[in-house]
Amino acid sequence: MNLTITGYSTALFSTWYFVEELGILFDAGEGLTAALLQKSRKVSHVFISHADRDHLTGLLQFNQLNARKGFPIIYFPKHSGSFPALEQFSKKFDPHVSATIWNPVSEETPIWIRDNIFVAPIRNGHVPAAKETIKSLGYKVIQTKKKLKPELLHLGGAEIKKIIEEQGEANTYVEHRTNLLSYSGDTPVEDPARWDHSGILIHEATFLDTGEKQTVHTHGNKHSRLEEVMEMVSGIHIQKLVLGHFSSRYSPEQIDRRINELCDKYAINIPVYRLLPGETVRDILAGKTVN
């Protein structure tokens, strides 16, 4: 499946990614409706990673413009108090917009957005919290496909139909799962296995260098360094990498140079795309790669 992804992601200011074919929005930082215009009406499912303001302040206007019966559905980390507060405020502030559904989610909740596609929330350690407390999530988009069991492949349609009738679908098909897209949200680099076999990985890379102080603007919340991300990527199988959430302290040249150095260092040959600070990038994957 070809995905048209448009986004903006600069640490501290705003982050959002719109996946057109899936009608999905990951995060909702400000500026999203101003950039997407009528296309923002194509969004049905909004997955918010955490309650930092640069990831959610676009919701008010988005909601006001786009709410329709049963949609949009806004999914957010189960224990973030900001979202119920925003829901209440939004309903009071814009009483004509009551259709929006606000849905708290945790790792146990697969969210089906189509018959064969679901989104799986992945807990991460961006916001320090007790283990059972869900305050920060990444998301994986998984496509499922029923495939005939290998031992039945030689059979004709009528015979297969008979087996389904006699033994049920579960004994006729196996389910294959394909990870179309993963979105890290804000997160330190943690368990690389969670992103393995992603078709596309959108990962944050707030800081370029390992040595510098990282306390600025993070309020104690944890972020990724570019080198850790690239090292992780070199150890797993993904097809395309999109890097975002860079700190605005870096120039475009610094960012691109560092990405290229690290592609060399870790022998990364997959296409790597990036969202530079302050830039809205339309159809990211149709653009030029950095490496």
Instruction: Write out the residues near Zn ion by the rule CB under 5 A.
Output: 52, 186
Which two structure tokens, joined as six digits, stand for 183?
């979105």
Q: Is the peptide bond before 128 cis (omega within 30 degrees of 0)?
A: no
Residue 54 Cβ, how far from Zn ion at the closest point, in Å? 5
Residue pair 92/189 in contact (Cβ under 8 Å)? The answer is no
Residue 15 Cβ, how far from Zn ion at the closest point, in Å? 5
Sheet containing 173-183: order of strands: 111-114, 117-123, 137-148, 173-183, 198-204, 238-244, 272-274
Residue 244 Cβ, how far from Zn ion at the closest point, in Å? 10
Closer residue to Zn ion, CB minimum distance, 172 or 206: 206
Q: What residues contact 168, with CB distance under 8 A and at least 6 apart?
A: none
3-class secondary structure, 179: strand
DSSP 222-286: ---BHHHHHHHHHTS-EEEEEEE-B-TTS-HHHHHHHHHHHHHHTT--S-EEE--TT-EESSGGG
- Nearest residue to Zn ion, scored by beta-carbon proximity: 186
Residue pair 182/195 in contact (Cβ under 8 Å)? The answer is yes
Q: d(Cα 1, Cα 242) in Å, to the nearest integer?
A: 17
Residue 77 Cβ, how far from Zn ion at the closest point, in Å? 14
Residue 31 Cβ, how far from Zn ion at the closest point, in Å? 14
Closer residue to Zn ion, CB minimum distance, 30 or 186: 186
Closer residue to Zn ion, CB minimum distance, 30 or 52: 52
Residue 186 Cβ, how far from Zn ion at the closest point, in Å? 4
Closer residue to Zn ion, CB minimum distance, 30 or 179: 30
Q: Which helix (H) or strand (E) holds 163?
A: helix 157-167
Closer residue to Zn ion, CB minimum distance, 186 or 227: 186
Closer residue to Zn ion, CB minimum distance, 137 or 263: 137
